[in-house]
């Protein structure tokens, strides 16, 4: 009888240790995947910003005063959208930083860096999954909207630069170019509304 009890206790300890070890590996996998996702988003933001600067500089080289005068209203609208997107990005990054601090504090409280394989961190892993979901549908979704919005801004500047240089097949049809640019500008606002 005593041997059976010891065997049962031993099995429970082994099972508990294996389960704790599994939770820790789940945490490591979640952490590494999320770090990779975060790096990817920030890289996309940087690439989008570079494309925007390139498109803006191409338009700044426009030597056609006629086109520049015709684009005055579009430029003002594009700049308003750019400022709104910059606010969106700044707020998203601030919130991401705050949420990242929550993760660091929780990790410190659970002493995650020195957890032994027999320590259960189930509650932390459950919290961490929720944290990642919150980041993905919160700040990082807003950064996705920022990226999409900036891509539309870049496309508008590319179209205007192309028209100025006479590279567009429709360069003589200002109304067509203007309506395309207006469509791009108007499609940015709903992106920001989805995140607020």
Q: What is the per-residue pLDDT for 22?
A: 72
Give the integer Cα–Cα distance in Å for 66 and 59.
13
Q: What is the per-residue pLDDT for 11?
A: 34
Give the integer Cα–Cα distance in Å for 131 and 53.
34
Q: What is the per-residue pLDDT for 104?
A: 84
61 CB burial (10 A radius; 0-12, 13-18, 19+) = exposed
Series of mean pLDDT values for 10-residue runs along the chain (196 residues) = 41 44 78 93 96 95 85 89 93 93 83 65 83 93 93 91 72 67 78 61
Does the global pTM surpass 0.75? yes
């Amino acid at each position: 009888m005593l041997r059976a009890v010891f065997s049962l206790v031993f099995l429970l300890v082994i099972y508990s240790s294996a389960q704790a070890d599994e939770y820790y590996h789940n945490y490591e996998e979640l952490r590494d995947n999320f770090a990779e996702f975060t790096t990817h988003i920030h890289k996309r933001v940087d690439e989008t910003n570079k494309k925007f600067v390139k498109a803006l500089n191409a338009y700044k080289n426009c030597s056609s005063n006629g086109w520049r005068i015709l684009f005055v209203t579009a430029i003002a609208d594009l700049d308003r959208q750019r400022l709104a997107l910059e606010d969106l990005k700044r707020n998203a990054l601030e919130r991401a930083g705050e949420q990242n601090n929550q993760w660091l504090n929780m990790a410190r409280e659970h002493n995650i860096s020195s957890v032994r394989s027999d320590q259960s961190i189930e509650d932390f892993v459950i919290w961490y999954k929720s944290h990642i979901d919150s980041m993905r549908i919160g700040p990082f979704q807003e950064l996705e909207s920022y990226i999409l919005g900036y891509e539309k801004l870049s496309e508008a500047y590319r179209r205007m630069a192309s028209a100025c240089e006479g590279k567009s097949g429709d360069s003589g049809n200002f109304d067509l170019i203007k309506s395309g640019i207006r469509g791009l500008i108007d499609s940015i606002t709903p992106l920001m509304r989805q995140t607020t």
